[in-house]
Structure 1
Amino acid sequence: MLGLLLLQVLASCLWLGHSEVVTPFASCPQFFYSETPPNNALNPKNPAWICQRFRNSYHYATLYDRDRRIPVYSAYKYQPGDGKEPPEWWMVEPQLIDKNVNLKEMKRESDLIDQHHFTLEEIEESQAVLEDYEGQKDLDFGHLNPSDHMENQDSKMATFTLTNVVPQDSSLNKGQWNIYQSKTMPQHTKDCTTTYVITGAVPGNINIAKGRVNKPSHIWSAACCVVGTEPTGAWGAIAENDKNEVETITLGELEDKLSNLYGGKVTLFEKACPRE
């Protein structure tokens, strides 16, 4: 009886502490095919599972590495729309500052400081801040979930959070990776009812911003095409983050490459997505 009471008390405490940084993606499983995230081989030592929420809606999901201050991956549904380009209001995640904070949506740094009385030091302890990316030579804000893959202005704006970007080689970001995102993806997805995408970054050996933010060694992306309710195709892409080259490969080949890079068997999608 005492054990049951303790369990009930624990459950109540967990509910009271509920936030949008979740384990694992309890509030936003819809962004993964069959509601199945990648396996634990990609998990960093100090992870945060973020349901990316903006203007009271979820737009995608991100696994974030608190120590390296970069996302491991962002998962979303490919739904490019005609919404006008959003303003580049770079945001951060309040719940990475304090898991008990009653702010469930991404916010601009200035709003957190002016309206909610956080300090810049408190914000930057848990994540990258805008200053980390300013003045970086030959590096861009590399969106894992690009705004052009979202359907309306709110969802496009939601991609402008520093929990969704990595330091990406400028020539790659503006060159072959942009071609993959803007031309290859539309070609591959034209017959799909729904396309589930997971785009990530492999941690590298170089840090920028006085050692605060990791520069990934590789950028990668995987997609699973569903027609009706059945997955009919899948593919992957990977690029070294210092060359303007993208290799388009099968999902199985991408998982094999990532398994070698991470040192453990990587599974990105539920097994029904074709690997060949």
Structure 2
Amino acid sequence: MRKSGPGHSHNSITDCDCLKQRSFCGLCSVTQEQLHTMFVLGLITCVVLRAFSAQAKVVHSFDECGWFFYRHTEPSGMDQNAKKICQMLENRGFYYASLYSVHHKIPLYSAYTLDPRCSSSHGRPKDWRLEPQGTMRNQAISSDYSGTGYDRGHLNPNSFQSDDGRTATFTLTNAAPMDARFNRVHWKSWESTLRSSLLKQLVMDRGLATAYIVTGTVPDPNVRIPQRGTSEEPERVSVPSHIWTAVCYKHFIQ
């Protein structure tokens, strides 16, 4: 366990020998507290809503977009009432999968693969998408985050994708409240380190591999936004106590 917060260098990341292997699975977990105190467990690790057509296809099983999971196997032990979503963008196919809790109004996880064409230098879309109410009821909305000190934190990071896949990550069914400093400094640094390590390995393997990634949340039952007294509809969205990431890197030959 390593403590990370103000006064602690966020550039010092635990070395992971497993990232040098051709096939590996890894898990990290990060806890965020209200006063910017975070603990890292394991290996490593306002905006206007736009009205264009964004479709989250709610499915009974992930068979339709199961290729985002290693061996088409989704995580077990999750909330059975959560909604399974194959994430779409204007009917252009599926870009990743999410398990969304309508009770907590945050995703429990998003499953995705690293796009080797991704670039951290590309600009971010300015707009977040809200899924049609006929598709996903009781979801979080942008105003739930306003003035709370929490960012809309990506689970499937836009920097891991390219082109339309990048735009498809900007949906509130792929976002959970993250403390602003945690999201913009610490979590961003760990995402960058993981991304760089995986891209380097993909280059070494000449693209003959796939990095399967699942990033998820652990909802805190006692912390919700907006806070009471700040909104007509307070405490709609649960704040995660932990953010975790699991990685499986599969080489096609081995």
- Conserved? CA contact 2:57–2:86, under 8 Å: yes
Larger helix percent: 1
Larger strand percent: 2
Q: Letter of the 1:212 partner, please give it.
A: R
Matched, 1:221 2:236: no
Q: Letter of the 2:180 partner, please give it.
A: S
Equivalences for residues 176-255 of structure 1 within 5 A? 176-192=186-202, 193-204=209-220, 205-209=222-226, 210-230=234-254
Percent identity over the alignment is 38
Q: 1:190 to 1:70 in 2, by over 3 A?
A: same
Partner of 1:173: 183
Partner of 2:145: 133
Q: Letter of the 2:112 partner, please give it.
A: Y
Shift in Å, 1:45: 5.0
Partner of 2:33: none
Matched, 1:30 2:42: no
Shift in Å, 1:151: 2.3
Matched, 1:60 2:96: yes
| Aligned counterpart for 2:113 among listed residues 77, 82, 95 | 77
SS of the residue corresponding to residue 201 of structure 2 reads: coil
| Aligned counterpart for 1:143 among listed residues 154, 175, 196 | 154
SS of the residue corresponding to residue 61 of structure 1 reads: strand
Distance in 1 between the 2:82 and 2:194 partners?
A: 31
Q: Letter of the 2:246 partner, please give it.
A: A
Distance in 2 between the 1:225 and 1:50 partners?
A: 23
Between 1:169-178 and 1:77-86, the stretch displaced more is: 77-86
Unaligned runs of 5+ in 1: 1-18, 100-122, 231-276
- Conserved? CA contact 1:147–1:159, under 8 Å: yes
Deviations 1:103-157 (A, max 9, x none): xxxxxxxxxxxxxxxxxxxx7x5100111111112x11110011000022x1111
Distance in 1 between the 2:74 and 2:104 partners?
A: 21
Q: Which has the higher contact order (CA 8 A, sep 6+)?
A: 2
Q: Letter of the 1:50 partner, please give it.
A: I
Distance in 2 between the 1:179 and 1:146 partners?
A: 12
Partner of 1:260: none
SS of the residue corresponding to residue 177 of structure 1 reads: helix
Shift in Å, 1:188: 4.2
Q: Letter of the 1:208 partner, please give it.
A: I
Distance in 1 between the 2:80 and 2:72 partners?
A: 23
Partner of 1:105: none
Distance in 2 between the 1:88 and 1:76 partners?
A: 22
Q: Letter of the 1:144 partner, please give it.
A: L
Partner of 2:167: 157
> How many residues in Structure 1 have an aligned counterpart in Structure 2?
182
Equivalences for residues 12-23 of structure 1 within 5 A? 20-23=57-60
